[in-house]
Chains A and B, each alone.
Chain A
Amino acid sequence: MIVAERKPFDEIKQLIKGYKKVLTVGCGTCVAVCLTGGEKEVGVLNAELKLSQKTEPEQTVFGEATVQRQCDMEFLAELDDMVKDYDALLSMACGAGIQFLAERFPTIPVFPAVNTTFIGVNKDVGWYEERCKACGNCVLGITAGICPVTMCAKSLFNGPCGGTNGESCEINKDQPCAWFMIYERLALQGRLDNIIEICPANDWRNQKPQTLIQPGYEERKASA
């Protein structure tokens, strides 16, 4: 899933400063799972925003709405009638959702209430870890299911570097060395041959905006 974290409260306050009617929009998918931007968090943020303006002369009206996915126009359409009553939107979705919301309602300013942090996994309740950088050229088949681009701080394709601290990365004792793990797991599986060969320079495919059309949908895209 995509993991995000709420922006500092003061930053959010600053972003929406001067707007009289703000609709806080949650997203019911990834950011809800990671306890950042779902229906519950929208309620909490609005309650905090309302509380914080108690002593202020000008009162902003805060509304709330949560759609299943902000990265899908079908769900954003549910907001069409609602948004006309607001002069700003505060999105708690990931960066993709925020942009799609802004695209849906181009005349209304949209502000992010969260920072999108990474594509990651649920280690435990409230504990998420990054696992994928969406580099567009997956090498997990060679590296025993451990991503060197994401899990190695230097994104080395031919690690480990000389900075390993025992089994840890040089950046932090709590961060395991990706290449130590890759080595251990490949050894366990009897597949060290995989990394005897030099992995050549990567073809970075995430350096420009990308579009994916699944086979069979080309015509649909052309007529859109």
Chain B
Amino acid sequence: MRPFKFSSANDARNAVQIVSANQAAKFLAGGTNILDLMKEDVERPIELVDVSRLNLTQIKSVNGGLSLGALAKNTDTANHPLVRQNYPLLSMAILAGASQQIRNMATNGGNLLQRTRCQYFYDVAMPCNKREPGTGCGALEGINRMHAIFGWSEKCVAVYPSDMSIALAALDAVVKVQSANGKERVIPFADFHRLPGDTPERDTNLNHGELITAIELPKNNFAGKSYYLKVRDRASYAFALVSVAAALEMDGNKIKQARIALGGVAHKPWRAMEAEKTLVGKEATEANFKSAAEAEMKKAKPLEHNKFKVELGTRGIVRALQMASSGDAV
């Protein structure tokens, strides 16, 4: 690991100022991703500002919804009574990710900022436009079984790894951010992460030095009918091949509103808007779930090794909607 200056912040404003003033400085919270990347020489900060002691750990009701402190641990968030009761989809998604040890360390803000696990990104001997713009994409015509089927570009076919964010996308969360000028800004979740386009080195629309302070969830009526399905190569502690966050609000036996977001398929959480639209006003039947899933997945553009993700995604959407609809899991 390369040498870096270390300091522990006790004031958010001050932390933002320090990092903003140094392009090669980074925040450190749980450290579960950045330390790994520093050991791999992928991340090379010359200064780390430990923000984990900042007073941004509260989980509390606001405006009928819920505010999750950016520095609350993933474990504490997944187990919070208000999250479990009103946003079980979020609990399930967090619990589907990583291991207990890592969830005990990882923070909510840090979870959003996880970087891709694309092996070409991790291996500094390989070309990667995300790690080193202009070097090319090793995965585009390489081993791309784990890679994107939606929204990729010639520059980058990596997928975004977080489970938590897939639920947050489905739940229309917003991200509160503190900027260098002392101002706060609010970013709707759909605009937080980016598609790769010509600038895959940018994962999010955060500016350098901006600090996530909280994630806010609006009130909803999905709690009793939601489910997070994660399909992976082994039963636990693996990244998703495909994951599906599904939530339904019913009006009698008709679907009033559906929310579906997919993980493991794109450079950001992929809201299945086409499928959602298809379901409104329909009954919650397997046939309707299937046509909704197909409407979404027919837009997929798989790569050489991940064609299976199209069928897996279709079946995953149907399965997740069935589980959500039954209400058995929540």
A and B held together in a complex: no
- Residues of B whose CB lies within 8 Å of any CB of A are none
Which A residues are closer than 8 A to B by beta carbons? none
